[in-house]
């Protein structure tokens, strides 16, 4: 086995080992914990950069270990996997810095950061899974590693949300398991292949449709497709870094990524379209987009509003995949990255409001822009991105999704995008107006003093960095090295000759 | 750095500096705004035609910044407006909008002025629109809020329509855009350009804001819509002529009628702007014309309107009278020329209606000028009073350059004297009103109330019956999987079965089954 085979395992270990060590650290070992967290994140990013260069030049990175007879445990770093792993790694670094500041005086930090690292490890494993069984293993592991984070506060509400989260996601896992077993019994293989592997077996289309439904509904739980989204708003009781992780890095994205894998590398997009399963998926995604935005409109709790916004926004990815065309694929896949950066900024900002001023509700945000201008500036830019305003990255995603839909003659998708943008504006712009233009109250609910600064720098730096990236990648979207550039590289592989 | 690239970036850089530096000049100060606004005016006046390709910007790989005749006109208009507002802010004692908001809006306007390539134009339109909202929102008091809400809604819908237009054009490169697609673009520009029926926010907004902001609101939204139209719907779109004719003529008539029935100067001015915007819309299908004639005429029309809030700051004197007269003449002549420009697209029977629309707009501006009181002799006026001449000067330059492009005939000249005379006569003839006969904004607030009612209904539905129904459904579905409940059901069934002659029944079933199998 050469170095190339070990690199995926090293990427996995760069968060797994720090996570396991952190569990054993005492609460007071702040410096060690910080060093391990940040060191692991930086090492992971360096390894990933090396692998991206390699993949761009055609190098194969694959680790294979026999798991059960006939099926291997496979970690395979293709271009699609690296896109998701990179997103997770970069945002893990940002979230770790944020979480260190956020949980400064909280109890059980070793437990928190231990599970935090494990959660990223499972996300990375899921992204690099080379077959459906490896995917399933990490998919379930992700559920188990995120549950302690959801219930971290230990309150009754948190435990209830945790139970709901477990019930939903384990049910999703069971569906994926059923689909996987059924598929294996018919094909004898589960290996992910560009353009899918199920087409050549002459299986009854009705059976394949059933398997597709099982798999998509299974991953659709984590992707929060309506009506399987109920766990997501409830999980908002978790601390802000966990919310950021759930929405932008790990769980929801894992579900969306699962949809991409199943459509492209299990069924193959052309074969899936010929089975007639992509249109129902597109319709389900469209319903989710509009439903999520409509529900977000009436939430006064800021994090719940953002949660319903995620329900809506993540389905753009499913929609882009289901439209079935190279340009829509670019739009859908690039939104995986773009939405991550915008949404994590919004959650960081929501966390800053809660941590600095004790503000949790939209109605309490009056004048917050004058008290916390940098945080609110970041929130404003990210919200504009969510609406799809240029030059933010959200515009780039919507542009390609719209163009892709028109390319394949699905004009109704453009109407869905327009309706969603309208609703996004309707639930984000009032927040901005309240924050910037309403007079502030005489006293904030629970204001903390940060020595004349608007908040702690560890809380301020991550949202500023993520929103700067979201702005730069939108403004210079056509430059080499941007997420759009990488996704065009992926789409060329999925659709090219 | 390239000069054209520096134009939209400089205001942003200054805005960031002002926002980040606590020791910088107070954010309300007008000097930074005025100084930055001199830059586009200088570029428009002094720099030769130029073009810079920006292939890596945004999504198309076709973005560019271009300094041509329409771009010069736009730079002159926006630079002049922001210069006036900035200078006014250095003199007024009232709290005004923050400099960062003003500079962000200016940056958007300058980007729009120079932009080529759909997404870049779109970005310029957005930054101008939302920036102007932020400028308005920086005003003290609450009077702007309702109008601001309406503006935001119009902007959002307009943005979506522009997005659809750009997508549709990009999806079929090389093919001429269909009429439906072009209509989307036209509708978008109507919504953001104060053209009736999307004018309702401006009159009440003008009545609620201070003079510096009023100067911007009078001309900047319509200017942005006009230059956006000239870039997004390039010259010669005869397919749009019928729609533009209906909206333009209908809008001008509507604005004229409602404007005449107003009582206050600012609200009348709002309707004058709406009538002028409708007139400009009428001419859009004819394209910019030679040497950007329509763009220069837009500068003249809007510049002359923007001068009017300034005359309210002056004592009654010959300078003030000269400013008003110059403003009305520039507006009237420019309006006549715009009508002349639009006439080529109109059916022969309706040819006279376009100049009549120009007459209506000038009439309203005259009424607004007459309704604007001068500063009382004992009160302080804003010095120097000559500030009012800045927008008029830009307007006059615009008119002169438009006339250079094509000399006006009698058809373009008669609207001015007629409009001004009718305006003066109406001012004398109309009875004094302490309240407007038509509420400023006319149907806008009715629509707003209806929309608010619908929204409240939806909110009530979403927070009341729908979640209750959802919870009931969920409980029912979950009840199917409730182990304890199933266990109780099975126990009940068991007890019931025991009460029956179960054994006999089972035997009967088995016997019948066996008989059936034997027969088979």
* pLDDT score recorded for residue A245: 83
Q: Is A398 touching B (CB cutoff 8 A)?
A: yes
Contact yes or no for A190/A235 (Cβ under 8 A): no
Q: Is B423 exposed, middle or buried (0-12, 13-18, 19+ CB in 10 A)?
A: buried
A298, B462: Cβ pair inside 8 Å? yes
Q: Tell me the average pLDDT of chain A.
A: 89
Residue A290 and residue A286: Cα distance in Å, rounded? 6
More confident position, B390 or A75? A75
Tell me which chain A residue has its CA closest to the CA of residue B140.
A437
Distances from the Cα of A18 to the Cαs of A14, A25, A43, A150, A254, in angstroms?
7, 10, 11, 21, 22
Q: A403, B137: Cβ pair inside 8 Å?
A: no
> What is the average per-residue pLDDT within A343-367?
92
Q: Which residues of A touch B138 (CB under 8 A)?
A: 437
Partners of A74 in the β-ladder: A64
Label residue B220 by pLDDT band (50, 70, 90).
Answer: very high
* Among A19, A35, A43, residue whose Cα is nearest residue A97: A35
- Touching check for A407 and chain B: CB below 8 Å? yes
For position B61, what pLDDT does the model report?
66
Query: Given pLDDT bands bounded at 50, 70 and 90, which one contains residue B328?
Result: very high
The CA distance from A428 to B186, in Å, is: 27
Q: pLDDT value at position B59?
A: 75
A398, B123: Cβ pair inside 8 Å?
Answer: no
pLDDT greater than 80 at residue A56 = yes
- pLDDT value, residue A254: 92
- pLDDT band at residue A28 using 50, 70 and 90 as cut-offs: confident
- Kindly list the residues from chain A whose CB atom is less than 8 angstroms away from the CB atom of residue B57: 391, 475-476, 478
Closest residue of chain A to B170, computed from CA coordinates: A403
pLDDT for the residue numbered B457? 85
Interface test with B, best of A384, A390, A406 (most B CBs within 10 A): A390
Q: For residue B463, give the nearest of A298, A422, A475 by CB distance.
A: A298
Concatenated DSSP letters of B417-447: HHHHHHHHHHHHHSPP-SS-SS-TTTHHHHH
Which residue in B has a C-alpha nearest to residue A401's C-alpha? B167
Query: Quick one: closest CA in A to B137, which residue?
Result: A437
Start-to-end C-alpha separation, chain A: 31
Picking from B122, B126, B152, the nearest residue to A429 by CB comes out as B152
Residues of B in contact with A163 (CB under 8 A): none
Contact flag A396-B59 (C-beta cutoff 8 Å): yes
Select from A377, A406, A479 the Cβ nearest to the Cβ of B167. Answer: A406
Please give the Cα distance from A327 to A407 (Å, whole number). 8
Q: Spell out where A342-389 has E strands.
A: none
pLDDT-derived band at A98, boundaries 50, 70, 90: very high
A63 close to A9: Cβ distance less than 8 angstroms:
yes
Is A10 near chain B, with CB under 8 Å?
no
Give B322-357 as a DSSP string.
HHHHHHHHHHHHHHHHHHHHHHTTS-GGGTTHHHHH
Peptide bond connecting A227 to the previous residue in cis, omega within 30 degrees of 0:
yes
> Rounded to a whole number, what is the distance in Å from the CA of A437 to chain B's nearest CA?
6
- pLDDT of amino acid B499: 62
Residue of A nearest to B470 (CA): A227
Q: Strand B63-67 vs strand B115-116: parallel, antiparallel, or unpaired?
A: antiparallel
Per-residue tokens: B116: 């080529």
Whether A466 contacts A94, CB under 8 Å: yes
Torsional class of A383: left (φ above 0), alpha (ψ -120 to 50), beta (otherwise): alpha
Q: Which residues contact A252 (CB under 8 A, 6 or more apart)?
A: A222, A223, A224, A232, A246, A310, A314
Under an 8 A CB cutoff, do B170 and A403 touch?
Answer: yes
Least confident residue range of A407-421, B177-191, B274-288, B491-505: B491-505
CA distance from start to end of chain B: 95
Which of A100-104, B80-84, B407-411 shows the lowest mean pLDDT across its residues? B407-411
Measured between CB atoms, does A373 come within 8 Å of chain B? Answer: yes
Place of tokens 């069924």: A267
Q: Do B59 and A425 touch (CB under 8 A)?
A: no
Chain A residues closer than 8 Å to B134 by CB: 436-437
C-alpha distance from A475 to closest chain B C-alpha (Å): 5
Find the mean pLDDT for residues B56-69: 80
**Could you tell me the pLDDT band of residue B346, with boundaries at 50, 70 and 90?**
confident
Phi, psi of B198, rounded to the nearest 5 degrees: -100, 30
Would you say residue A353 has pLDDT above 60? yes
Of A388, A390, A478, Cβ closest to residue B56: A478
**Cβ-Cβ contacts under 8 Å for A208 (sequence gap 6 or more):** A198, A267, A275
User: Mean per-residue pLDDT for B223-241?
Assistant: 84
Q: Could you say which residues from 440 to 479 on chain A have a Cβ atom under 8 Å away from some Cβ of chain B?
A: 474-479
Q: Which residues of A touch B167 (CB under 8 A)?
A: 399, 402-403, 406, 414
Q: Residue B462: its chain A contacts at CB < 8 A?
A: 294-295, 297-298
Task: Classify A223 as helix, strand or coil.
Answer: coil
* B160/A418 touch (CB, cutoff 8 Å), yes or no: yes
Interface test with A, best of B160, B470, B475 (most A CBs within 10 A): B160
Question: In Å, what is the CA distance from A427 to each residue of A298, A394, A422, A440, B151?
Answer: 8, 16, 9, 20, 16
Neighbouring-strand partners of residue A72: A66
Q: Is A387 exposed, middle or buried (CB count within 10 Å of its CB: 0-12, 13-18, 19+)?
A: buried
- Residue that has been written with the tokens 């300034």 in this structure: B310
pLDDT of residue B406: 81
Q: B58–A391: do the CB atoms touch at under 8 Å? A: yes
> Given A389, A403, A433, which is nearest B167 (Cβ)?
A403
Quick check: A297 and A423 in contact, CB under 8 A? yes
Q: What is the pLDDT of residue A239?
A: 85
Chain B residues with CB within 8 Å of chain A CB: 19, 55-61, 119, 122-123, 126, 130, 134, 137-138, 148, 152, 156-157, 159-160, 163-164, 167-168, 170-171, 458-459, 462-463, 474
Query: What are the chain A neighbours of B9 within 8 Å (beta carbons)?
Result: none
- Give the whole-angstrom CA distance, residue A79 versus residue A127: 10
How far is residue A132's CA from residue B460's CA, in Å, rounded to a whole number?
45
The more confidently predicted of residues A279 and A71 is A279
Q: What does the alpha-carbon distance between residue B270 and residue B207 come to, in Å, rounded to a whole number? A: 9
Instruction: Answer yes or no: are the C-beta atoms of B74 and B41 closer than 8 Å.
Output: no
- The shortest C-alpha distance from A229 to chain B (Å) reads 13
Q: Which of the 8 DSSP states describes residue A263? A: I
Query: Among the listed ranges A11-25, B102-116, B452-466, which one has the minimum average pLDDT value?
Result: B452-466
Q: What is the pLDDT of residue B386?
A: 66
Query: Which contiguous run of DSSP H or E holds residue B131?
Result: helix B118-137
Residue A339 has pLDDT above 60, yes or no: yes
**Total beta-carbon pairs less than 8 A apart between chain A and chain B:** 84
Give per-residue pLDDT as tens, A132-190: 999 999 999 999 999 898 888 888 888 888 888 888 988 999 999 999 999 999 998 88
Distances (CA, A) of A20 to A111, A118, A119, A420: 10, 8, 12, 42
- Token representation of residue A150: 């959801």
- Among chain B residues, the shortest Cα distance to A377 is held by B19
Residue of A nearest to B55 (CA): A478
Q: Is the pLDDT of residue B332 over 80?
A: yes
Chain B contact present for A363, CB below 8 A = no
Q: How many CB atoms lie within 10 A of CB A445?
A: 13
CB–CB contact B159 A479 (8 Å): no
Across the interface, whether the CB atoms of B126 and A389 are under 8 A apart is answered: yes
Is A315 in the B-facing interface, judged by CB distances under 8 Å? no
Cα–Cα distance measured from residue B496 to residue B502, given in angstroms and rounded to the nearest whole number: 10
Of all residues in chain A, the one with the smallest CA distance to B121 is A390
Measured between CA atoms, the residue of chain A closest to residue B136 is A437
Task: Convert the pLDDT of each residue in A218-270 to its tens digit.
Answer: 999 999 998 888 888 888 888 888 888 887 878 899 999 999 999 999 998 88
Tens-place pLDDT, residues A448-483: 888 878 888 899 999 999 999 999 999 888 888 889
Given B61, B137, B474, which is nearest A437 (Cβ)? B137
Distance of alpha carbon A5 from alpha carbon A10, whole angstroms = 9
pLDDT number for residue B458: 80
* Structure-block tokens of residue A124: 């990375």
Residue recorded with tokens 């915008």: A342
Q: What is the pLDDT of residue A159?
A: 87
**A interface test, pick of B145, B171, B466, B483 with most A CB neighbours within 10 Å:** B171
Structural tokens at position B297: 């005429």
Contact across the interface for A418 and B57, Cβ inside 8 Å? no
Q: Which of A418, A436, A479 sits opposite B56 (nearest CB)?
A: A479
Dihedral sign, CA of A383, A386, A390, A393? positive
Q: Mean pLDDT score of chain B, rounded to an integer?
A: 84
CA distances from B152 to A429, A440, B193 (A): 9, 22, 13
* pTM for this prediction: 0.86
The mean pLDDT of B249-265, rounded to a whole number, is: 91
Tens-place pLDDT, residues B8-36: 999 999 988 887 776 555 555 688 888 99
What's the pLDDT score for residue B1? Answer: 57
């Amino acid at each position: 086995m050469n170095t190339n085979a070990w690199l995926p395992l090293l990427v996995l270990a760069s968060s797994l080992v720090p996570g396991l060590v952190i569990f054993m650290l005492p609460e007071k070992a702040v410096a060690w914990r910080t060093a391990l967290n940040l060191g692991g994140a930086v090492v992971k990013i360096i390894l990933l950069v090396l692998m991206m260069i390699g993949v761009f030049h055609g190098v194969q990175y694959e680790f294979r270990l026999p798991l059960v007879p006939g099926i291997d445990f496979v970690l395979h770093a293709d271009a699609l996997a690296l896109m998701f792993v990179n997103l997770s790694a970069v945002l893990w670094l940002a979230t770790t810095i944020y979480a260190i500041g956020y949980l400064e005086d909280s109890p059980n930090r070793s437990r928190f950061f231990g599970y935090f690292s494990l959660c990223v490890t499972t996300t990375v494993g899921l992204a690099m899974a080379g077959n459906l069984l490896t995917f399933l293993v990490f998919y379930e592991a992700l559920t188990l590693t995120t549950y302690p984070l959801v219930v971290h506060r230990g309150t009754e509400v948190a435990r209830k949300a945790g139970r709901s989260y477990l019930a939903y996601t384990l049910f999703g896992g069971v569906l994926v398991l059923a689909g996987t077993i059924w598929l294996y019994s018919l094909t004898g293989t589960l290996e992910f292949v560009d353009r899918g592997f199920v087409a050549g077996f002459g299986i009854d289309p009705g059976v394949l449709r059933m398997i597709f439904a099982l798999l998509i509904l299974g991953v659709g739980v984590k992707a929060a497709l309506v009506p399987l989204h109920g766990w997501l708003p409830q999980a908002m009781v978790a601390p802000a870094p966990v919310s950021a992780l759930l929405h932008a890095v790990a769980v929801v994205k894992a579900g969306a990524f699962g949809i991409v894998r199943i459509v492209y590398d299990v069924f193959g997009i052309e074969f899936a379209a010929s089975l007639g399963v992509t249109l129902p998926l597109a319709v389900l995604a469209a319903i989710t987009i509009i439903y999520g935005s409509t529900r977000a409109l009436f939430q006064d709790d800021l994090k719940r509003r953002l949660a319903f916004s995620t329900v809506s926004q993540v389905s753009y990815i499913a929609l882009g995949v289901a439209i079935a065309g190279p340009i829509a694929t670019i739009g859908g896949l690039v939104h995986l990255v773009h939405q991550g950066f915008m949404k994590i900024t919004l959650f960081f900002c929501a966390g800053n409001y809660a941590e600095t001023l004790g503000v949790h509700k939209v109605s309490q945000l009056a004048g917050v822009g004058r008290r916390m201008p940098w945080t609110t500036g970041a929130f404003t830019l990210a919200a504009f991105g969510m609406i799809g305003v240029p030059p933010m990255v959200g515009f780039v995603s919507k542009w390609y999704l719209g163009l892709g839909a028109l390319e394949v003659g699905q004009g109704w998708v453009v109407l869905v995008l327009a309706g969603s943008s309208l609703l996004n504006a309707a639930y984000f712009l009032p927040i901005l107006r309240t924050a910037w233009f309403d007079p502030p109250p005489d006293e904030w609910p629970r204001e903390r003093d940060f020595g004349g600064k608007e908040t702690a720098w560890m809380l301020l730096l991550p949202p500023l960095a993520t929103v700067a990236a979201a702005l730069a990648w939108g403004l210079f979207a056509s430059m080499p090295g941007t997420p759009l550039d990488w996704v065009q590289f992926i789409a060329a592989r999925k659709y090219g000759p | 750095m390239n000069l054209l690239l520096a134009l939209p970036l400089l205001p942003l850089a200054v805005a960031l500096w002002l926002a980040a530096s606590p020791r910088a000049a107070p954010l309300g100060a007008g000097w930074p705004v005025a100084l930055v606004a001199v830059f586009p005016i200088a570029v428009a006046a002094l720099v030769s035609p130029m073009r810079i390709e920006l292939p890596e910007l945004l999504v198309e790989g076709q973005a560019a910044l271009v300094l041509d005749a329409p771009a010069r006109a736009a730079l002159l208009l926006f630079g002049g407006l922001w210069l006036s507002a900035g200078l006014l802010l250095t003199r007024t004692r009232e709290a005004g909008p923050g400099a960062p908001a003003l500079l962000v809006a200016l940056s958007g306007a300058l980007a729009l002025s120079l932009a080529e390539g759909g997404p870049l134009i779109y970005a310029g339109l957005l930054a101008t629109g939302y920036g102007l909202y932020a400028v308005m929102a920086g005003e003290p008091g609450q009077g702007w809020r309702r109008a601001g809400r309406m503006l935001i809604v119009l902007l959002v819908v307009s943005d979506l329509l522009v997005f659809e237009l750009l997508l549709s054009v990009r999806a079929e490169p090389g093919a001429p855009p269909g009429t439906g697609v072009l209509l989307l673009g036209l509708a978008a520009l109507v919504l953001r350009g104060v053209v009736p029926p999307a004018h309702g926010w401006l009159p009440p907004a003008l009545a609620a804001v201070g003079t510096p902001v009023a100067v911007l609101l009078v001309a900047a939204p319509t200017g942005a819509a006009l230059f956006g139209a000239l870039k997004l719907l390039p010259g010669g779109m005869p397919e749009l002529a019928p729609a533009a004719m209906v909206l333009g003529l209908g809008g001008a008539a509507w604005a004229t009628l409602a404007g005449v029935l107003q009582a206050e100067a600012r609200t009348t001015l709002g309707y004058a702007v709406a009538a002028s915007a409708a007139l400009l819309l009428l001419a859009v299908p004819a394209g910019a014309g030679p040497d950007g004639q329509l763009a220069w005429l837009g500068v003249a029309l809007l510049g002359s309107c923007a001068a009017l809030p300034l005359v309210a700051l002056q004592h009654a004197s010959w300078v003030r009278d000269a400013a008003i007269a110059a403003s009305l003449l520039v507006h009237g002549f420019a309006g006549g020329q715009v009508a002349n420009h639009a006439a080529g697209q109109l059916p022969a029977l309706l040819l006279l209606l376009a100049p009549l629309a120009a007459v209506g707009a000038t009439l309203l501006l005259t009424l607004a000028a007459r309704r604007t009181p001068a500063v009382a002799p004992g009160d302080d006026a804003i010095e120097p009073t000559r500030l009012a001449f800045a927008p008029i000067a830009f307007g006059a330059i615009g008119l002169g350059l438009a006339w250079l492009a094509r000399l006006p005939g009698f058809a373009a000249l008669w609207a001015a004297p007629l409009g001004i005379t009718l305006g003066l006569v109406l001012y004398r003839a109309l009875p004094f009103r302490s309240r407007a006969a038509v509420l400023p904004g006319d149907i806008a607030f009715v629509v707003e109330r209806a929309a608010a009612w619908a929204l409240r209904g939806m909110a009530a539905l979403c927070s009341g019956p729908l979640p209750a129904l959802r919870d009931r459904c969920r409980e029912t579905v979950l009840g199917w999987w409730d182990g304890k409940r199933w266990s109780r059901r099975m126990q009940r069934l068991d007890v019931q079965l025991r009460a029956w002659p179960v054994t006999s029944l089972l035997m009967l079933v088995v016997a019948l089954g066996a008989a059936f199998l034997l027969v088979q």
